Structure 1
């Protein structure tokens, strides 16, 4: 199975992805740290490192799917082209695809989480500003794939249980 976590930065998507993956004994493939690693390797930021990170994670996910493993991908996935990559990958490997979108319905809490991430440097210097996160919100408008939408205002444990039920089809 290919599980694709989607949502704006700072919503709690990576936290839920990690706990979901632990429950499923599945690897998590996050896109943001791959992009930071590309920068650390000396690839200039004016290069399409975001796209390169998606391609790398897609290749790794394909390898794991070929081995029969369930994979959890962790990325914003606000662009249709990104979501199509995961649809195509699941079809190529003939595996079930589950999208899980994480939102934060409390804008003040969302902004605070984003600020807290920047304070501890979770993904290096790739941390976005509130304005850049808000600008990406429109990428989810009109998205009509079947997906589970989790609100990270709810307790993490509740969201993980909902996600488990969804991916298991129960």
Structure 2
């Protein structure tokens, strides 16, 4: 179904389209909410490719190698053996088809086996019901709530803190 592989500089063009789509970025990085030019996206993408404290992988279809988005683990702490999971699926045609759950499972496998992490956490906007469901299917458990931590469409909503431990995985 999907394959994870390193992002390359030539992949930035996909992000131009995705970041301009309000529906695609609704529950994603706050930084995406303020990027309006290709130059801003280029700068962010270049920083992402250079970030050595993160595992960044493109999400590709196995059969056609179409780029669907990216996922990984940011803020990796070797000392604490922990990091923060993220996923961004830009191709809406692939939403609701199990891609998020499959990607999450593959990134957790990389985090626990190759990076030797003990804990992987995430935050998710509570109204992102599909995201919460995908994370739970992959083994994440809710461990807290950040009240009114996100502002979208003029309204605040809570973000959930979820995590999975290597021993639970």
TM-score, with normalisation over the residues of structure 1?
0.34
TM-score, with normalisation over the residues of structure 2?
0.34
Structure with more contact order per residue of length (Cα contacts < 8 Å, sep ≥ 6): 1
